[in-house]
Amino acid sequence: MREYKIRIMNIERNNIKKTKSLSFFLIILLIIIICGFLFDIYKVKAIINIDSNYRWAWNDIIGWIDFYFDDTEVTRERVKGYVNSSIGYIALDCQTTPVGDICSNSDFAVLNDGSGNLSGWAWNDAIGWISFDSATAGSSYIYQVIINSLTGDFSGWAWNDTVGWISFNCSDINICSTSNYKVKTTWVAEPITASLISSVFDTQRIGGTAINTIMWQGEQPTDTSVKFQIASSNSSDGPWLYLGPDGSDTTYYTSTGPNDSVQINLQYHNNHRYFRYKVFLVSDNGQNKTPRIDDIIINYSP
């Protein structure tokens, strides 16, 4: 912190002492105000992606559990931070507990599979472990907390051996007309897209060709997609404009899957000697599955 010094000249010693005391008081007051302001900023920034209205889970014994608290954050890998309840804080992740990182002593977390299916454990000093899914807990009774990957709404149940079930959405027990609660996050599952631009293909036709169709071979898992844009030119140096069916760079040629031949719009790719393609591989929303392309086949004619 930069230190500011005030030079006082030609003032009686008594006045100097009074001035120094007043200055010290004002500096301390300013520090307190600034610290309070920064603390408020931190609190605002720390509450990252839980809805300020839809923030509540419910348990019949301990009551409301507030997820709009401190650094609670949903990511595609886990739920981080800690939440507040009548029995104290509930830590959702060993790295971001109220006392800091304790993973070296107790490695736990509420995990997200990327599609909103939660698993693993949370911890509270009063009641112990809270299970977010039956598979991790080894329970024969099926339960799980799930985040809707499109809306961010939590639903389902967590379990604790001391207090029992914890509900994350009033719709699970059909009481929303009398108690409209749920936990909601702004996190949603989103696909990722990878792209590749081909080398330049020379049809060897001076007058150009007509690019008729494009087809690919490989594998396309459920909820993934493959799409293309085509560029053509009468010069091997381009210009290369990658276009979709309507002649814009915002639309794509898409197929139903491998070995499905897609018609190319000849309005934009006729009588051109050279061509290239740009292929886009789009994952599922959870970013767990992606297509695999082995071959791309383009049909063209004089």
Last residue of one domain, picked from the residues 158, 185, 212: 185
277-289, pLDDT tens digit by residue?
Answer: 999 999 988 888 9
Q: What is the pLDDT of residue 39?
A: 39
Same domain? 139 vs 209:
no
133-157, pLDDT tens digit by residue?
Answer: 999 999 999 999 999 988 999 999 9
Nearest to 211 by CA among 166, 255, 276, 147: 276
Same domain? 155 vs 199:
no
Q: What is the pLDDT of residue 27?
A: 52
206-228, pLDDT tens digit by residue?
Answer: 889 999 999 999 999 999 999 99
Q: What is the spatial distance between Cα 272 and Cα 139, in angstroms, rounded to a whole number?
A: 64
Last residue of one domain, picked from the residues 134, 151, 185: 185
Q: What is the spatial distance between Cα 154 and Cα 176, in angstroms, rounded to a whole number?
A: 14
Amino acid letter for position 145: V
Q: What is the pLDDT of residue 288?
A: 84
Amino acid letter for position 268: Y
Same domain? 176 vs 101:
yes
Residues of the chain with pLDDT under 50: 1-22, 24-26, 29-30, 32-47
Task: Tell me, yes or no, whether 3 lies in a domain.
Answer: no
Same domain? 203 vs 173:
no
* CB 288, CB 115: distance < 8 Å: yes
Same domain? 153 vs 246:
no
Q: What is the spatial distance between Cα 172 and Cα 220, in angstroms, rounded to a whole number?
A: 34
Same domain? 38 vs 109:
no
Same domain? 22 vs 55:
no
Domain of residue 17, residue span: 11-46
Same domain? 171 vs 66:
yes
Number of domains in the chain: 3
To the question of pTM greater than 0.75 for the whole model, the response is: no
Task: Tell me, yes or no, whether 32 lies in a domain.
Answer: yes
Q: What is the pLDDT of residue 302?
A: 84
List the CATH number of the domain containing 228. Answer: 2.60.120
